[in-house]
Amino acid sequence: MLGIVAVVLLIAWAKVHPFLSLILGAAVLGVVASVAPDKMITSFTGGVGTTVGGVGLLIALGAMIGGLLAESGGADGIVTRVVGRVSGRALPWAMAGVAALIGLPLFFEVGVVLLVPIVLLVSMRTDVQLMKLGIPALAGLSVLHGLVPPHPGPLVAISSLNADLGLTLGLGLLVAIPTVIISGPVFGNFIARHVPATAPAALLPTRRQPAAPADNAAPAGSAAPAGSPQSAGSAGTTDRRDVDGDLLTDDDLVNPGGGRPGEPVDDSGTETSRRTPAFWPAVITVLLPVVLMLLRAIGELALDEGTAGRKTLDIVGTPIVALLAGVILAMFTLGYQAGFSRSQVSSVLGGSLPPIAGILLIVAAGGGFKQVLVDAGVGNLVADAAKDANLSPLLLGWLVAVGIRVATGSATVATITAAGIVAPLAATLDRPGVALLALAIGCGSLFFSHVNDAGFWLVKEYFGLTVGQTIKSWSVMETLISVVGFAGVLLLDLVV
């Protein structure tokens, strides 16, 4: 287990990048396990290739859908439509639902960049406490990120355990719904009484407004009262339709704390040529890959093998085909229909790939590390120990993921390592059991985000919280997601 310890120490203590830490950890593991250097290299590179060929393609396609959703303003349109049709008390529930929907194709960090400015605006305009809206939005994003493919963590667990993706997706959604409800609106209503927070005006998305006449200009250094039309206008106008749909073009929002936080986005000249995608086309685009994969899982249960319908669903429900279909549909519904030219659509698709390069490398190195774990027989040792201790594979997978998550702060590293360790136990489980094991690991990987997690600081800065307030709200919410989600996995284990 020195290889695993090496990875944890390199990331948590030495602050080495996870990509290098996983490579060095695999080397330590090979030396300790007396694996020949040539075999260790072959094992590692083979694991990298397998992971990139499977998981990497899916991550890239998912990022393309997310890129078009972000740049076209489709995400903002979905948020505005839903939030504009609900009352004050229902807003936290609407935020949780919107975050879960937006979170299907978007990575957590991108979802935060897109949703948090909207949460800040809605809180300011409706006088609903910020935590009542922010916690449900964060919960929806986090649960989807940890439990539902095509996010990297669930995909890695599914690949490592050879779980059925469609079945895992279906069971993951069953676990996600009550988990989002409890850790989102319910917990948000409670914590809002203990963590008062106000929307940081500097992070509100704004458009560049025409210069006001000199006689109407406010004196330098003066500010309009909070909630007044002037204040709302400086944050993006009082009309929700004027909220900037291209949030990712503002470096101050993508990289909070750097540059000029309050500087408006200068997108003049694009209003007449671009238009926000319609609500339902955007929703259908987001849900298409999910629906295709779920149909495949239903077909495996309801249709006889070898029939034309079964073969068709097996093909269109294959993850890479489903996500490719989503990308193609997004090119039209979120690209051309939104006023983008062919070159602009191509640019958005290409621009969505560089930000995920680091994730792909970490996932790939994790796949190599996992393969060295398997080939060195570490997984079998853990499996034997678990049998002697009479530990449930689900509990073991959750505990291992929790330990690595707390030590390293990385949900992806926790998922990769835990899946590699408990992979031999998957052979003793049936198809639903393997899917639930993948979900148990995903739940464990979300446990107690704290100061060694980049997401912790992202939430702290966007909501203007202190470290203590962030621990009380965000860290406790993540722990609640992990525990409630795992409880849901155990309940499903009793009935499937």
What is the Cα–Cα distance from 352 to 335, expressed in whole angstroms? Answer: 14
Span 48-75, average pLDDT:
84
Q: Is 357 or 483 the better-scoring residue by pLDDT?
A: 483
Is the preceding peptide bond at 229 cis, omega within 30 degrees of 0?
no
Q: Is 72 or 200 the better-scoring residue by pLDDT?
A: 72
What is the Cα–Cα distance from 463 to 465, expressed in whole angstroms? Answer: 6
Span 218-240, average pLDDT:
39
pLDDT tens digit string along 389-444? 678 899 999 998 898 888 777 787 788 888 888 888 888 899 999 999 999 999 99
> Tokens representing 39?
């075999």
Place of tokens 């940890």: 146
Span 463-484, average pLDDT:
92
What is the Cα–Cα distance from 210 to 271, expressed in whole angstroms? Answer: 14
Three-state secondary structure call for residue 257: coil
At 255 the pLDDT is 34
At 342 the pLDDT is 92
Residue 111 has pLDDT above 80, yes or no: no
Q: Which residues have C-beta within 8 Å of that of residue 148, sequence separation ≥ 6?
A: 104, 154, 169, 172, 173, 176
Span 211-215, average pLDDT:
44
Would you say 462 and 437 are in contact if contact means Cβ atoms under 8 Å apart? no
> Which helix (H) or strand (E) segment is 296 a member of?
helix 279-302
110 band by pLDDT with thresholds 50, 70 and 90: low
Residue 225 has pLDDT above 60, yes or no: no
At 379 the pLDDT is 60
168 band by pLDDT with thresholds 50, 70 and 90: very high
Would you say 75 and 106 are in contact if contact means Cβ atoms under 8 Å apart? yes
First to last CA, the chain: 33
What is the Cα–Cα distance from 243 to 110, expressed in whole angstroms? Answer: 17
Place of tokens 């305009």: 125
At 460 the pLDDT is 82
What is the Cα–Cα distance from 324 to 326, expressed in whole angstroms? Answer: 5
**Mean pLDDT in the chain?**
79
Would you say 184 and 92 are in contact if contact means Cβ atoms under 8 Å apart? yes
Tell me the longest C-alpha to C-alpha distance in the chain.
Answer: 82
Residue 210 has pLDDT above 80, yes or no: no
What is the Cα–Cα distance from 236 to 240, expressed in whole angstroms? Answer: 8
Q: Is 325 exposed, middle or buried (0-12, 13-18, 19+ CB in 10 A)?
A: middle
Place of tokens 């409800």: 181
Most confident of 83-92, 193-202, 463-472: 463-472
| Nearest CA among 154, 162, 63 for reference residue 105 | 63
Place of tokens 């090496």: 6
At 251 the pLDDT is 33
The distance of Cα 215 from the centroid of its chain, to the nearest Å, equals 48
What is the Cα–Cα distance from 30 to 53, expressed in whole angstroms? Answer: 24
> Tokens representing 450?
């704290």
Residue 229 has pLDDT above 50, yes or no: no
What is the Cα–Cα distance from 80 to 207, expressed in whole angstroms? Answer: 17
Query: What is the b/e burial string over 424-447, where b = at least 16 CB atoms within 10 angstroms of the residue's CB?
Result: bbbeebeebbbbbbbbbbbbbbbb
Would you say 187 and 450 are in contact if contact means Cβ atoms under 8 Å apart? no
Q: Is 315 or 85 the better-scoring residue by pLDDT?
A: 315
What is the Cα–Cα distance from 422 to 417, expressed in whole angstroms? Answer: 9
pLDDT tens digit string along 317-374? 888 898 899 999 999 999 998 889 999 999 999 998 888 888 788 878 878 887 887 7
